[in-house]
Amino acid sequence: MNMKSILLIWRQKPTLRAIVFWLLPAAFLGFFFYQPLLVLFNLLISPRWGFNLAELDLNRIWKPLWFTTGQAALSTLLTMLIGLPGAWLFARFTFPGKRALKMLTTLPFILPTVVVAAGFNALLGPRGWVNLGLMSMFNLSSPPIQFLNTFGAILTAHVFYNTTIIIRVVSNAWAQQNIRLQHAAKVLGATPWQTFREVTLPLLRPSILASVLLVFLFNFTSFGVVLMLGGPQFATLEVEIYTQALHLLNLPVASVLSILQLICTLLITITHNKLAGQQSMVITPRSQVLGTRRPKKGFERFVVILLVITLFSLLISPLAALALRSVVKLEPSRGERGEISQGLTLQFYRELGVNRRDSLFYVPPIAAARNSFIFALITILITISLGLLVAYGLQQPSHINKILDPLLMLPLGASAITLGLGFVIVFNRPPFSNISFPVLLPIAHSLVALPFIVRTLTPALGSIPRSLRNAARALGASPLRTWREVDLPLLSPAIIVSTIFALTISLGEFGASTFLAKPAYPTLPVAIYRYISQPGAMNYGQALAMSTLLMLVCASGIFIIERIQSDDKE
């Protein structure tokens, strides 16, 4: 069979093309994701553990389940109360600093949980700016605000994290609505409230429900926020899995909790995907969409200013407090007010490479940063390669995509803790156990990042006109040359965005890393958590310094993404 016959078969059989593109990604997911999940199921019935499901203390299961569901629901409700007005703000108005504020509201979503915990600690902790200010103002000997290790800290951090989801999803749908529908309602005598209730809200309902379910999913699978800000008295499923597996070495119970959580997240993910599919609409020409305008005088301007201040205070102030606290040294004073500022200093940054305790287990933070970037580079290589294959597979008109696409998205709903636990059980044997380098860590990061990468590359690939490829073939270009000179240049912005997504996700991943990071190869989030967990002002300051550096890297990434996306729109 010659090359022309092979190309003819390739062009005539879309299912064959889909299978070829899906082969490597499906094998990767099957071996590194679904195999650990099956082993978790098998662990419950394996006789070598001597575990009897009938003897399981149900209170150990139901208590974290109910708390997980309750805090996720309440956090989602509070996020809606902030996010929906924020979506209205960005969809309807233009104001000075709007672009910068929108970029900054996106930053919390990609920050590692350890950085967020450090930010709230620097703002509202015992040595935070608010408590220090109140102690100085009212001559107090102890911090008046007890924020850490409270239920309110968990809720506040979840709102901080997920408000941008509501803002992004709903504001985009709001801005794309056809203004002629509102004009028609006004012509028919509808009041502004009736227009909103009968026209705007029904069109926004799929976007609102999809974003709310996504926020609930992230709150349901939250780990680092609850562990570091909630304290030991608050145990979600994630935290309980971590405790049972790493501290109590009770793998069967941890497996039961992991399976229960996976079932819940799978149901949430399936429902979200169905709702997200309902958001697709006919693209409205720019001349017919709702335009942005400056707020009018009076009440409207007051509401806009209030929303801007609220978003800035909630989403920006913890990050600003973190950066400022990392360059300010506080020492005990001789008076009764606890601590006073000694001015600006870079001591915490200089101390990052110093092992003053001569610990044999000390790993310099610069080494942790190097490890994180090495893991991130491997993650980028894996996710971009597999993401492109999946994106091309999804472009083929084949029924196989209806089966494989949901299987690809399941890691989005799976817990990183569950993933790490499965890796520990399955791959704690040769050849993986004989490798000193933690190769499983970037693989776990890739599983977490791959759904995001695919959802970034697929729309970009689908937007390439088929006529360009046909023209290249008519001019005698080979398939490889067509891809190199037609597809690749048009895909470059999406590939750059995907690369930054993979970089920031890998740098900030904390859940699976707590299971898989070896003592000699800690990542930056793991190293930050080690410093925060140790007593002493110097350890705390070094944790803040590392958190600030990691925050700056994430901020640079989101800034580049915003610039690329804005250039594409122009």
Q: CA end-to-end span of the chain, whole Å?
A: 48
- pLDDT value at residue 203: 81
Query: φ, ψ for residue 217 (rounded to 5)?
Result: -60, -45
**Three-state secondary structure call for residue 153:** helix
Which H/E stretch holds residue 331?
A: strand 328-332
3-state DSSP helix/strand/coil percent for the chain, to nearest 5?
A: 75, 5, 20
Q: Residues with Cβ < 8 Å from 140, sequence gap 6 or more? A: 134, 337, 338
The CATH code for residues 13-47+353-570 is: 1.10.3720.10
Closest CA to 168 of 228, 108, 125: 108
Report whether the peptide linkage leading into residue 36 is cis, meaning its omega lies within 30 degrees of zero. no
Amino acid at 419: L
Give the Cα separation of 537 and 364 in Å (integer): 18
Q: How many CB atoms lie within 10 A of CB 120?
A: 24
Q: Largest Cα–Cα distance of the chain, in whole Å?
A: 90
Q: Where are the domains of the chain?
A: 13-47+353-570, 64-326
Give the Cα separation of 453 and 190 in Å (integer): 44
Return the DSSP state at 30.
Answer: I
Give the Cα separation of 511 and 75 in Å (integer): 20
Tokens 């491997």, residue?
A: 378
Instruction: Tell me whether domains 13-47+353-570 and 64-326 share a fold.
Output: yes
For residues 112, 114, 115 and 119, what is the CA-based torsion angle, rounded to 10 degrees?
Answer: 140
For residues 9, 10, 16 and 22, what is the CA-based torsion angle, rounded to 10 degrees?
Answer: 170
Helices (H) and strands (E) in the chain, counts: 27, 2
- pLDDT value at residue 364: 74
Tokens 């001019």, residue?
A: 475
- pLDDT value at residue 327: 85
Q: Residues with Cβ < 8 Å from 353, sequence gap 6 or more? A: 364, 365, 366
Long-range contacts of 325-330 (CB under 8 A, 24+ apart): 325/122, 325/128, 325/129, 325/544, 326/122, 326/541, 326/544, 326/545, 326/547, 326/548, 329/541, 330/127, 330/132, 330/537
Closest CA to 111 of 270, 229, 224: 224
Q: What are the average pLDDT values for consecutive 10-residue runs of the chain, which has 570 residues?
A: 60 78 91 84 62 63 86 93 90 84 79 81 85 84 85 90 85 76 77 79 82 85 80 79 74 76 76 59 45 77 89 86 82 50 73 63 72 90 92 84 76 71 80 76 88 81 81 80 84 82 80 77 82 75 82 77 62
What are the helix (H) ranges across 414-510?
A: 416-426, 440-462, 466-474, 479-482, 488-508
Give the Cα separation of 228 and 112 in Å (integer): 12
Question: Which CATH architecture is the domain 64-326 placed in?
Answer: Orthogonal Bundle (1.10)
**178 forms bridges with which residues in the sheet?**
289
Q: What is the per-residue burial (b if ≥16 Cβ within 10 Å, else e) of 199-223?
A: bbeeebebbbbbbbbbbbbbbbbbb
> Could you tell me how far CA 306 lies from the centroid of its own chain?
27
- pLDDT value at residue 334: 47
